[in-house]
Chain A
């Protein structure tokens, strides 16, 4: 009896998954002729780094909002299962480029150089979003450079540290995955911002926490060990790291006024900033990024030549504007 029930369950699951696959592929093939036939009814393929994170959820929401505003354009959003699933994204891009089902592509590359090889010689409009792809096939890059955004954060952090009464302003970075383009760009930006504003960036003491909270806590414990006197600014790869670092330093008097800078400005970061657990967060306008990237792709299909770089803007979230941002973000996800 048990076995029979199990067999039925399994068979049911298989049927369901087969049906789902079938549905997708037939949808794709019917899309193709309509896309090529008229000027209207474009089909845009949006391949993001991942869809499994809040930040990318906003890019996705932005891209889909364009579809809601322009019902004749069909937007399909997909992404790898994590920001380190390089192979997965490679396969995805390869499959979609060769499927002939899409008129234009919006790509946020996990590894820009790899994507450059994949798109070589393709004639459909290709737009890079979030992270630039240095290739002649790419018409436009929509985003903020991580470096510029981080530099804004670095400057704001130095100002905040001065306001908090720090005399020697030193900054240490808890970076993401070593060798990752985004992680490097953010650290470079932080360094630039901190130094421009008159602080000292301890480049020798960069820690790598892979953007993961518990590793960031470990790094923070080491920093406190090396600097019992306190450090004015801790700049982090993302909000997860910043919140964990701030938590690890909780209760250490020397770090009571330390400025913890995160990156992404997601909802929980806004809450943490309001609660005084993270000091500030550098936020890229992910929703606008998604929307503008699809818009640019459609304009290109309509024969316009887009600008090479379209800035989607960045801001620094502090206690003053966190509530406002939180409400906006909730609106994007329809909560």
Chain B
């Protein structure tokens, strides 16, 4: 049983990894500028933001929930720092960093509490509400102004520094992914998270405190959004509350779904999500290199998402069929 499960897991990655590989080969042929060290590093820089918010999104998706506030939360955290700089309260990078992370995690914790303690029906509704709240607050705290972080290099370090061209932000992403992978696969908390999503009733009967597990997932999602917000400050050097309505959340969902997560919960892995995030970043990067029109970009990305889900569903049906045949 475990053997078949493992091999099917490998199959999941094989499909997604194959797609990424084919994409890279096509782009290498299409433009000579794609397969260059500097460009590949650009791709990693561009992946960092989405990879971070996808981590939180994945946890929520595994529990059969969703967190639509991730993008707005990231913008909110950046704007929180921006406000402190603008109002001249502090330019100390450590303080800014702590405030952003505490702020983001708190927002995530509130999302979790709304679901588990206030019993709001589905996190789709509550986190959608939270997205709007954060959007509004981000504009209010900055006075609807775009704020520049010029001169405050400490806060921008995470998003802009590199080691031999390799972005620090992506190193952090890799470390987080390894930790999260271990957490999800090797700890009881990880198993509880899968259990809460796959079969909540079984989770309750086996004595898992699902309320706390769920709250943890949303708080972690907030934490990751805060990190993403800090990365965005470093990348662009500015913050702007108006960016809170950017479709960062759907990009994160797309990365998770391409990587094998499901809205039904109980599914999804860190490796898959990383591949999903890379596919999206490579697509966008390739389009930019080729100066493809925005319309075609949207179309292609949409097709990739549909294709990935279709692949997943087909594979599952085939597996179910194989199981039925085996029991006969």
A residues apposed to B, CB below 8 Å: 6, 50-54, 56-57, 81-84, 177-179, 204-208, 210, 212-214, 216-219, 221-222, 224-226, 239-240, 243-244, 247-248, 266-268, 271-272, 275, 277, 333
Which chain B residue lies CB-closest to A175? B294
Contact indicator A221/B46 (Cβ below 8 Å): yes
Q: Which residues of A contact B33 (CB under 8 A)?
A: 225-226
Residues of B within 8 A of A179 (CB): 294-295
Please name all residues of chain A whose beta carbon is closer than 8 Å to the beta carbon of B24 when the two chains form the complex.
none
A250 to B147, alpha carbons, bound, how many Å?
A: 19
* Residue of B36, B45, B288 with highest tally of chain A CB at under 10 A: B288
Of residues 139 through 159 on chain B, the ones whose CB sits less than 8 Å from some CB of chain A are: 139, 143-148, 150-151
- Tell me if B's interface is mostly helix, strand, loop or mixed: helix
Whether a CB of chain A sits under 8 angstroms from the CB of B109 is: no
Whether the pair A217, B146 counts as a contact (CB closer than 8 A) is no
B246: chain A residues at CB < 8 Å are: 210, 212
A217 to B238, CA, bound (A): 11
Number of A-B contacts (CB under 8 A): 118
* 26 pairs from A and B in contact (CB 8 Å cutoff): A54-B145, A57-B143, A177-B294, A204-B291, A212-B246, A213-B232, A213-B235, A213-B236, A213-B243, A214-B49, A214-B243, A218-B42, A218-B285, A221-B39, A221-B45, A221-B46, A221-B285, A221-B288, A225-B42, A226-B289, A240-B236, A240-B240, A243-B238, A266-B146, A267-B145, A277-B148
B46 touches A218 (CB 8 A): yes
Q: Which residues of B contact A267 (CB under 8 A)?
A: 145
Query: B272 at the A/B interface (Cβ < 8 Å)?
Result: no
Nearest-neighbour CB distance to chain B for A64, whole angstroms, equals 15
Residue pair A51, B237 in contact (C-beta under 8 Å) = no
Q: Which residue of A lies closest to B241 (CB)?
A: A52
Q: From known contacts A213-B243, A244-B237, infer whether A178 and B288 are also in contact, taking CB-CB under 8 Å.
A: no
Question: Which of A6, A239, A275 makes the CB contact (< 8 A) with B151?
Answer: A275
| Closest 5 pairs between A and B when the two form their complex, measured CB to CB | A213-B236, A222-B288, A178-B294, A244-B236, A221-B42
Q: Min CB distance, A239 to chain B, in Å?
A: 7
Q: Is the CB of A222 within 8 A of B146?
A: no
Given contacts A225-B33, A268-B147, contact A218 B284 (CB under 8 A): yes
| B7 CB-CB contact with A under 8 Å | no
A326 to B42, CA, bound (A): 34
Q: Which residues of B contact A207 (CB under 8 A)?
A: 288, 291
- The answer to whether A217 and B236 have CB atoms under 8 Å apart is yes
Return A11 CB to nearest CB of chain B, in Å. 15
Do residues A52 and B139 form an inter-chain contact, with CB atoms below 8 A? Answer: yes
Q: Which of B33, B36, B38, B150 has the most CB of A within 10 A?
A: B150
